[in-house]
Amino acid sequence: MIHIRDAVVGDIEPTDIELKIIESQPMQKLRYVKQLGLDNLVYPGANHTRFEHSLGTMQITRELARSMFGKDDEVLEYAGLLHDVGHCAFSHLSDGLLARYLKTTHEKLGEELIKKGPLNDVLTENGVPIKKLLGYFNGVGNGIVVTGALGSDRLDYLMRDSHYTGVAYGIIDYQRVRTRLTIYKGKPAIYESGVQSAESILVARYSMFASVYNHHACRIAKSMYEKAVESAVDSGNLEPNELTTLDDEEMMHRLHSVKESRELAKRLRERSLYKRVYYDYVDDVDTEAIAREVEKTGVKKNDYVIEMIKFRGSTDNIDVVNKAGDYVGKLTEISPLVETLMTVLGTRKKLLVACDTSKSQKVKGAVLKAMKK
């Protein structure tokens, strides 16, 4: 039996089939795709990868299944292992690019990898029921154990991202959460005794978004990267389909080799990020109108970035049951803290505009002018 020692979840003992899946090319590519994209420019320790996260999610899925169902569900574990197999260079930094150029998502790319290619060969040769796996992959039935609000994916990335960024906000009492989860009407629910644990997870997620995922410098780096890739693709020097095949290192090499994207790629490599000229909470604003006003001043498209920052998770809600397994209510009904948090998540938006310091006055003036219209 092979043991894999993980810094977050401890010892992992993959089965023979899981080991073959891990050794497949699509999974090995995830070793070279950073979990947090370019956030290591802000948090130097954030160099962990989708590969580690996938292994951790598999292990937590196994532990949740044993706790909630009283037995292993190997196909569910495969879903946990493979849930991020479709991720492209710099993880979520590629999501908008995939939507724009290929009209797809990393989830759909993951499905395709499960359906055909070397990964499918491994799965079919070892008798893995593909249809059942795809159902779990998409959160159907017990698949919600991976994809849900208290699922293995979220539990692992909160603990893992907290560990590697050194930010304490994402620390959660996973072992207590695990023993308080159950199934109610086919969906994960939490016992009344676990309400405080569920609160801590939702608060931890909000705090991680506020301090890490939505950190202004991380979002500036994200937007600069997107513009670099767009410049390479729009110039015809990077094929859209290459978005699905290149890992982080390969993508940065390509961006450096393309005239139209070279300057932005160089700035990212040297951490010469654009600086904020506007960063505040807003109601609804037209970012395209702001962009037009900025470019009227002669500032070029690649010399500034605009990001509308929103918080995720406003639709998360969890059933609460008593010891007998009877329904008590929704977590938002029982916890004033969660109710307030959901309201904040659903309404809070922040506008971020940044540029090279030499263009700060022009860009700031244009932003303020556009917002007065």
Can you give the pLDDT at residue 184?
87
Can you give the pLDDT at residue 173?
85
Phi-psi region of 116 (alpha: psi -120 to 50; beta: other; left: phi over 0): beta
Q: Is residue 238 part of a domain?
A: yes
> What mean pLDDT comes out for the span 275-298?
93
Span 185-195, pLDDT tens digits: 878 889 999 99
Of the listed ranges 72-81, 121-130, 248-257, 279-288, the one predicted with least confidence = 279-288
What tokens does 135 get? Answer: 């159902």
Can you give the pLDDT at residue 315?
60
Can you give the pLDDT at residue 258?
97
Span 45-73, pLDDT tens digits: 999 999 999 999 999 999 999 999 989 99
Average pLDDT value over all residues in the chain = 93
Can you give the pLDDT at residue 32?
98
Q: Is residue 137 part of a domain?
A: yes
Total-model pTM: 0.94
Q: Is residue 148 part of a domain?
A: yes
| Number of independent structural domains in the chain | 1
Query: Is the model's pLDDT at 355 over the cut of 90?
Result: yes
Q: Is residue 364 part of a domain?
A: no
Between strands 187-191 and 319-321, the pairing is parallel
> What mean pLDDT comes out for the span 90-96?
97
Of the listed ranges 27-41, 75-89, 188-202, the one predicted with least confidence = 188-202
Can you give the pLDDT at residue 266?
98
Can you give the pLDDT at residue 235?
97
Span 248-281, pLDDT tens digits: 999 999 999 999 999 999 999 999 999 999 999 8
Can you give the pLDDT at residue 201?
86
Can you give the pLDDT at residue 87?
98
Q: Is residue 198 part of a domain?
A: no
Q: Is residue 245 part of a domain?
A: yes
Query: Is the model's pLDDT at 234 over the cut of 60?
Result: yes
Sign (positive or negative) of CA dihedral 161, 166, 170, 174 = positive
Query: Is the model's pLDDT at 314 over the cut of 60?
Result: no
Q: Is residue 179 part of a domain?
A: no
253: domain CATH number? 1.10.3210.10
Query: Is the model's pLDDT at 346 over the cut of 90?
Result: no
Q: Is residue 44 part of a domain?
A: yes
Can you give the pLDDT at residue 313?
61
Query: Is the model's pLDDT at 174 over the cut of 60?
Result: yes
| CB contact at 8 A, 208 and 167 | yes
Range of the domain at 56: 1-166+215-273
CA distances from 150 to 46, 55, 93, 153 (A): 23, 18, 24, 8
CA distances from 352 to 139, 142, 295, 345, 372 (A): 33, 39, 16, 17, 16
Which is nearest to 258 in space by CA: 38, 43, 250? 250
Q: Could you give the angle at the alpha carbon of 336 between the alpha carbons of 332 and 338, nearest 5°? A: 50
